[in-house]
Amino acid sequence: MSTKNINRKELVLNAMDNKPVERVPAGFWFHFLADEIHSDAFAQPELTEELLAGELKYIEESQPDFVKIMTDGFFPYTNDSFIKAKTAADLKHVKPLDKDDKWFTYQVEYAKKITDKYGDEIATFYNLFVPGTILKFMQPNFEDGEPYLAALVREDKEAVKQVFDVISDDLAELAKRVITEAHVTGIYLSLQNLLGEGITRELYEEVFGPGERKILAAANSVSDYNILHICGYAGHRNDLSWYEDYEVKTINWAAVVEDVPLSEGKKLFGGRAVLGGFGNTVDDVIYKGSEAEIKAEVRRLLDEAGTTGVILGADCTVPRDTPRQHFDWVREALIEYSK
């Protein structure tokens, strides 16, 4: 479907600013590598070419209003002192990366290849994970990540705080560099509540909060347009109120998983712009719905949330094999709704 008469990037930025828009913008995202969690593009640069090819093909075919720049293969924190740490006590000896480390330079180079081609047309948000999520991803079995991290915090929270401070400094540096050097619009920072025995909001705020806020502050220092993603992937439940005072322009959460619609979330987050609305599983309408069903869901979401400060998307990554035509149907419904 043609989008030539609309400046899609301006559409997204106006929505994030809670300004009136010609039509509500939309975008969806999914993974491109077969194993997005354990792939290591720092060790295998050819994976970045596969990732880039998939991202560019999606942009060309689907013409989204914005793109979350996927970071499959860049999930690991390739810091030798961190990788070698075996105990909580070892974490106290982790040192920050050198500024010319490939962990920075590879990611900046990759992001720039996308913005050089599409940065003037669409808004681009570079995906970053907070330290807790990175640590969970780096466990051999993903399902063991959450209990491992919770146990680590219970064992020695001071050691965890110390290593999170180091990792957050590097993530803050990366956030600033993808914005200032790769010229992305902003970052898309993914986090979630830590679940487990003895894990309270107060403990989370003490151990996790400072680093997460530091990353956002760094991004906010060089861009007004950053997104917070409260991840409900695979049914993970979050207390959204833990993040209501995080400084960020736009919030994306799992509206379907949490059963918190866009309008309710908009109130919770002080009227800031919101992103999402659609579920992201094979059982949800964006994946299996007919044209009529998908367009009806668009109308339902906008009837409920309004058209100001709203960007339609999904709870999280949608299945890789979601028919691309479904994204066209969403855009068609948005155009029809605006008339």
- What is d(CA 40, CA 121) in angstroms, rounded to the nearest whole number? 30
- Comparing C-alpha atoms, which of 83, 233, 77, 84 is closest to residue 146? 233
Three-state DSSP state, 173: helix
Q: Which two tokens stand for residue 35?
A: 């194993």
Three-state DSSP state, 285: helix
- What is d(CA 264, CA 41) in angstroms, rounded to the nearest whole number? 39
- What is d(CA 134, CA 29) in angstroms, rounded to the nearest whole number? 20
Annotated domain spans of the chain: 8-338
* Terminal Cα-to-Cα distance of the chain (whole angstroms): 17
Distance of CA 62 to the CA centre of its chain: 19
For residue 229, the model assigns a pLDDT of: 98
Pair 28, 313: CB distance under 8 Å: yes
* 3-state secondary structure string across 127-169: EEECHHHHHHHCCCCHHHHHHHHHHHHHHCHHHHHHHHHHHHH
The model carries a pTM of 0.97
Q: Which two tokens stand for residue 143?
A: 């399902």
pLDDT string in tens for the chain (339-residue length): 344 467 999 999 999 999 999 999 999 999 999 999 999 999 999 999 999 999 999 999 999 999 999 999 999 999 999 999 888 889 999 999 999 999 999 999 999 999 999 999 999 999 999 999 999 999 999 899 999 999 999 999 999 999 999 999 999 999 999 999 999 999 999 999 999 999 999 999 999 999 999 999 999 999 999 999 999 988 899 999 999 999 999 999 999 999 999 999 999 999 999 999 999 999 999 999 999 999 999 999 999 999 999 999 999 999 999 999 999 999 999 999 998
- What is d(CA 252, CA 43) in angstroms, rounded to the nearest whole number? 32
For residue 86, the model assigns a pLDDT of: 81
Q: Where are the alpha helices (DSSP H) in 181-269?
A: 201-207, 209-220, 255-258, 262-268
Three-state DSSP state, 253: strand
CATH number of 8-338: 3.20.20.210
